[in-house]
Structure formats: C-alpha cells, structure tokens
A and B are shown apart, each in its own frame.
Chain A
C-alpha cells in the first residue's frame, strides 16, 4: 500500500507496562509526525521528525514518552510505565518535505487502552 502504515491497530495493556507503537511513513516523505486523539478531543501534536534534524519534542506530555526514527523512515513511539490517561488513539502522519504548505497524510492509528 502507498499510505502511512501503523501497527498494531489495537493495543490493550495493563497500567505500568511499556508499549511500543510503530509507524511506516509514505515512501519518500521526509517529515514524520506523531499525534494523539483522546476521547472527544481534537488531535494533539506529540513529536516531529524532519530528515536528520533534531526532532521537535515539544508536544510530548511527559518523560515517559519517547520516539525514534531509524534511517529516516520507520518510527517507533514508546510509552514507559503506562498510565490510564495514556489511553487514546495514536496517529502518525507524514508529509513530502515538511516545509510549509504540504498536507500531512495520516495512518489509521493505534488505539491504546490502558487497563
């Protein structure tokens, strides 16, 4: 497929466990974003990667959240010691250049439920 791919599509885990979410951006897209959508809310920016530049981590809600992007392609978002308030849909998006006026294209998200 040519779109943004995310896995797993659903994840249920116990409070306190670590989780890892994966994103495969559209081939050739240099910019990659993570967002999350909590129940009844709009999408909230988490982190941004552009090429080899330092990521913009300004949206990460706590130091339990981290993300990597290896080889300028696949990205993983890791949440350590999960809490119930981490339950949300985590969405990944990519865009062609990350330089103004390029729409971001989203994957279908990972629905994370913390018991």
Chain B
C-alpha cells in the first residue's frame, strides 16, 4: 500500500517557465510534508517543508502548496533553471513516534535551456 504517490515519473519544462510537481497521500495522520531534490550518486537534499497547519510555504523560487481535504500537495518552481534538473521526492511523516519519512517514488524533472 503506497501511502505517498507521485504519479508522474517525469516532467520536462523550458527554462524560465514554471515547474509543478504533484504528490498525493492517503494517510490522514500525516502532518508534516517535505520535498527533497536528488542528483545522481548523491543523497537527497532537503528543499522545503510544510506543516499541516499551513496551506502554503514559500522559499525563494520554491513554493509548496498543501490541500488537506484533497490529500494533495504540490511543489512549484518558478522560474525553472537547468540546474533544477534532478529527481524530486515528496515525503510525509506523522506526529509522534519516530517521525519516519514515507517517500514517494520520485519525479524526474528536466529543465531544458
């Protein structure tokens, strides 16, 4: 049972345009959501997070939106840059216990010059 789903394995956008990466979850106990970026042969790098008490969090070019009723979150990157090309993972955790992260399978973003 996949609790965090990233239904698009890949996404291709032009430099300067907006990239929108989507993530759906099934576990209503999740209350903290994160996006990680991963380059080949490197570990995931933390990008941005959002708590369930918010519906939007912004950091520079990156904005995460959370729709709790739809159990959906998205990451917007604007403007997209070629250096943003990487695999993006959505992750979620539930309050209490270990706060272990449950990850989606990732979306490979390619930003074309």
Task: Assess whether B99 is in contact with A99, with CB atoms less than 8 Å apart.
Answer: yes
Query: What band does the interface of chain B fall in when counting residues whose beta carbon is under 8 Å from A?
Result: 20 to 34
Cβ-based interface call for B83 (8 A): no
Task: Assess whether B49 is in contact with A42, with CB atoms less than 8 Å apart.
Answer: no
Give B49-90 as 1s and 0s: 1 = Cβ < 8 Å from A's Cβ atoms. 101000000000000000000000000000000000000010
Q: Which residues in B have their C-beta under 8 angstroms from that of A93?
A: 43, 101
B41, B44, B49, B102: the one contacting A91 at CB < 8 Å is B44
Cβ-based interface call for B28 (8 A): no
Task: Assess whether A101 is in contact with B32, with CB atoms less than 8 Å apart.
Answer: yes
Total of A-B residue pairs, C-beta within 8 Å: 69
B41, B101, B104: the one contacting A104 at CB < 8 Å is B101
**A86 CA to B42 CA, complexed, in Å:** 19
Task: Assess whether B43 is in contact with A45, with CB atoms less than 8 Å apart.
Answer: no
Query: What band does the interface of chain A fall in when counting residues whose beta carbon is under 8 Å from B?
Result: 20 to 34
Task: Assess whether B32 is in contact with A33, with CB atoms less than 8 Å apart.
Answer: no
A6, A45, A101: the one contacting B101 at CB < 8 Å is A45
A-B contact pairs, 20 of them (CB 8 A): A4-B43, A41-B105, A42-B89, A42-B103, A43-B44, A50-B98, A58-B98, A93-B101, A95-B99, A98-B98, A98-B99, A101-B32, A101-B49, A101-B51, A102-B99, A103-B49, A106-B45, A106-B46, A108-B42, A108-B43
